[in-house]
Amino acid sequence: MELVVTNAVASVGPAYSSRPEDIGWFILALPLFASLAIALFLHRNRTLTLFFSVGGVVAAFLLSWVLFFTFGVTGLKAVPSPFPWFHAGGLNVNLGLAVDGLSTVMLLVVTGVSALVQFYSTAYMRDDRGFARFFASLSFFTFSMLGIVLSDNLVMMFVFWELVGFSSYLLIGFWFEREAAADAAKKAFLTNRLGDFGFLLGIILVWSLTGNVQFDELAAKLKADPNALGVWSSVVGLLIFCGAMGKSAQFPLHVWLPDAMEGPTPVSALIHAATMVAAGVYLLCRAFFLFQATTAWPAALAFLGSISALDIIAVIGGGTALLAALIAIQQNDIKRILAYSTLSQLGYMVMAVGVGGPDAAMYHLTTHAGFKALLFLGAGSVIHACHHEQDIWKMGGLGRKLPVTFRTFVIGTAALAGFPLFTSGFYSKDAILVASVRHGHPILFGLGVLIASMTTFYMVRLVIVAFLGRSRSSSAEHAHESPIQMTWPLVVLAIPSIGLAWLPLGQYLTEHFFGSRVAVEEGGLFGPFNHAPLAATFGTGAIIFGAWAAIATYWNAESDPLPRSLAFWSRVLRNRFYFDEIYEALFIPIQDGLAAVCGWVDRWVMSGLLVRGVHGTTELAGRALRMVQTGNLQTYTFLFVGGVALIILIAL
């Protein structure tokens, strides 16, 4: 196979002229530059570390606005400017940027949350020995994530996909001296590899069927001929979804996300709530055209009939959302509650894609990034104030002691629950419910409403137990508000949690995905009640019910009453449906067996027979030959004469 690596710069040639979309390269390069500069040169200097890290991401954020107004708002199509990367056989891969309505919104989310989290970390990580390492990793993560957002083909996206997995590994295991953190990092990495394997197979399948990995060209090809993928079209969809399943922690690969909370809290906010886990949903939206191809299964899977890949995705998403919401109800660790809530909301988004509403999914992704980052940073502020106490039953009464954290946390909670009219969460959640009604999925609609009510329940429970009532431990009693660097990112994040409700973001995304084919819904505060009263009413009802149930159960409660009343079920929920234990019982023996076989082969065949064999033979021969070296001149002469005689004999 011929492999030619082309010099990227040289091939641009004289036709090159500067275009506004090339700003994308700067956005991509800034965090990478910051990360390399810190890791290689600046790790001893805290001020310079902060200057480069925060400066890089803020500059990227500002440049993202330029791109958003140039391409996102106007709907202008960016001219692709691909640098040929390599071509091997029939595979041509370019390094190109996809600058459009979808990626510019995502750019703003990633760089915006990144910038706030970095500001916040300056205070949160102040006393940590790995200060510079933390910021270098954070910048590197931002670079990888921006790479996913901006990739215009599957191969490039896969490369950044893996880089994101790697930087997530670095950051989860940031406190690697703690065994739990090191284990969680490994777990996250390995679980993600499982999903990525499917993703890679999907990419290979797409390429072998169409000979193309470029998003825009694939979309055009599929639009012209929806049967282009033949009998494999649904399998391709599911394989690509495998990647999303790993990154966005969908059932059955969801187990890594709650453990990832072992990382520092700002990392949980940035990576495991707002951006990286949203990469899976972003991938589904970016490659949504793949799922619009005709439903077809190869002969072995023909029994699935007319069930499409999207249906399966919707069920997995809805199932994950329900499962995680149930578990969240009986968790007591503040970060774990938020982690399961993140899982649940990701399931919501995946379900939205599955019912055919990528616009609703992206809308929810954007609003969720804001208020979930807010909630995590708020939780970080609480943990910081309570001297690293994470059990909500040992808090209580924090509302008076941490006024800024409390108020912003309540705003975040309202947004996550989807409090009507004032919060961004209400509109994006409503968009998902509307999508499931419109596309004829009444059961998933019911599921969505149920989950919305459970979301409200566990979030109100968290607020009541942690912030209201009386203090239940000395660390909660002596808590005081976090420094200003930690509180003002909370205030800034509270603004989009409310303010996004007033922006026509939903319509913007609908237009991006469906163009003029779908009539754009009317906006405005009461829009949802006018154009889809069913969804809006049910959504509001779910919130009121959830909030009422939580207040009735937990108001002034000294301990959780649910374990008594639910008994067995409470234990199941507290133990997260025993997934870790089941996986351990099912997969660990197989894995251990395989590892033992590999270990045996490595120890006895590889090092024993091959490596030690070669080394042993050489040494034995050496020892034998050493006997000949007597040091006696006449022995040498005798052997020499004998040798000459032998050669003469042979020659004659």
Partner 1 sequence: MHATLNHYLVVSVLLFSLGLFGVLARRNLLVIYMGLELMLNAANLALVAFSRYNANLNGQVMVFFTITVAAAEVSVGLALIVALYRKRQTAHVEDLTSLKL
Query: Applying CB under 8 A, which residues contact partner 1?
Result: 626, 629-634, 637-638, 641
Helix (H) / strand (E) element for 571: namely helix 568-574
Cβ at position 630, least distance to partner 1 in Å: 6
Cβ at position 646, least distance to partner 1 in Å: 15
Identity of the residue, 16 or 636, whose beta carbon is nearer to partner 1 in the bound complex: 636
> Which tokens hold the place of 126?
């102040």
- Count Cβ atoms below 10 Å from residue 625 Cβ, excluding itself: 9
Identity of the residue, 300 or 627, whose beta carbon is nearer to partner 1 in the bound complex: 627
Identity of the residue, 47 or 632, whose beta carbon is nearer to partner 1 in the bound complex: 632
Identity of the residue, 480 or 623, whose beta carbon is nearer to partner 1 in the bound complex: 623
**Residue matched to tokens 């805290």:** 46
Per-residue HEC secondary structure of 282-299 comes to: HHHHHCHHHHCCCCCCCH
Cβ at position 620, least distance to partner 1 in Å: 16
Identity of the residue, 300 or 651, whose beta carbon is nearer to partner 1 in the bound complex: 651
Cβ at position 641, least distance to partner 1 in Å: 7
Cβ at position 634, least distance to partner 1 in Å: 6
Nearest to 456 by CA among 479, 423, 482, 488: 423
- Verify cis geometry, omega within 30 degrees of 0, for the bond prior to 252: yes
Identity of the residue, 564 or 623, whose beta carbon is nearer to partner 1 in the bound complex: 623
Query: What amino acid is encoded at 92 in this protein?
Result: N
Burial of residue 637, with CB atoms counted within 10 A of its CB: 0-12 exposed, 13-18 middle, 19 or more buried? exposed
Task: In the chain, count H helices and then E strands.
Answer: 29, 3
Cβ at position 52, least distance to partner 1 in Å: 59
Is the separation of the CB atoms in 213 and 240 below 8 Å?
no
Identity of the residue, 300 or 628, whose beta carbon is nearer to partner 1 in the bound complex: 628
Cα–Cα distance for residue pair 124/443, rounded to 1 Å:
44
Identity of the residue, 17 or 632, whose beta carbon is nearer to partner 1 in the bound complex: 632
Identity of the residue, 559 or 618, whose beta carbon is nearer to partner 1 in the bound complex: 618
Cβ at position 623, least distance to partner 1 in Å: 11
Cβ at position 637, least distance to partner 1 in Å: 6
Identity of the residue, 129 or 626, whose beta carbon is nearer to partner 1 in the bound complex: 626
Cβ at position 616, least distance to partner 1 in Å: 20
Burial of residue 397, with CB atoms counted within 10 A of its CB: 0-12 exposed, 13-18 middle, 19 or more buried? middle
Cβ at position 650, least distance to partner 1 in Å: 20
DSSP 603: I
Identity of the residue, 17 or 629, whose beta carbon is nearer to partner 1 in the bound complex: 629
Query: What amino acid is encoded at 472 in this protein?
Result: R
Cβ at position 161, least distance to partner 1 in Å: 59
Burial of residue 249, with CB atoms counted within 10 A of its CB: 0-12 exposed, 13-18 middle, 19 or more buried? buried
**Residue matched to tokens 């807010």:** 374
Q: Tally the residues of the chain.
A: 652
> Which tokens hold the place of 518?
């779908």
DSSP string, 14-37: TT----GGGHHHHHHHHHHHHHHH
DSSP reduced 3-state for 577: helix
Cα–Cα distance for residue pair 75/510, rounded to 1 Å:
12
- Count Cβ atoms below 10 Å from residue 622 Cβ, excluding itself: 9
DSSP string, 76-109: PPPPP-PEEEEEETTEEEEE-B--SHHHHHHHHH
> Which tokens hold the place of 434?
């509307």
Cβ at position 615, least distance to partner 1 in Å: 20
Cα–Cα distance for residue pair 31/99, rounded to 1 Å:
18
Identity of the residue, 18 or 634, whose beta carbon is nearer to partner 1 in the bound complex: 634
- Count Cβ atoms below 10 Å from residue 575 Cβ, excluding itself: 13
Cα–Cα distance for residue pair 573/560, rounded to 1 Å:
13
Identity of the residue, 565 or 630, whose beta carbon is nearer to partner 1 in the bound complex: 630
Four-residue CA torsion sign, 244, 247, 252, 254: negative
Beta bridge partners of 95: 83
- Count Cβ atoms below 10 Å from residue 1 Cβ, excluding itself: 6
Identity of the residue, 89 or 631, whose beta carbon is nearer to partner 1 in the bound complex: 631
Cβ at position 644, least distance to partner 1 in Å: 11
Cβ at position 612, least distance to partner 1 in Å: 24
Cβ at position 631, least distance to partner 1 in Å: 3
Identity of the residue, 517 or 626, whose beta carbon is nearer to partner 1 in the bound complex: 626
Burial of residue 647, with CB atoms counted within 10 A of its CB: 0-12 exposed, 13-18 middle, 19 or more buried? exposed
DSSP reduced 3-state for 213: coil
3-state percent breakdown (helix, strand, coil) of the chain, nearest 5: 75, 5, 20
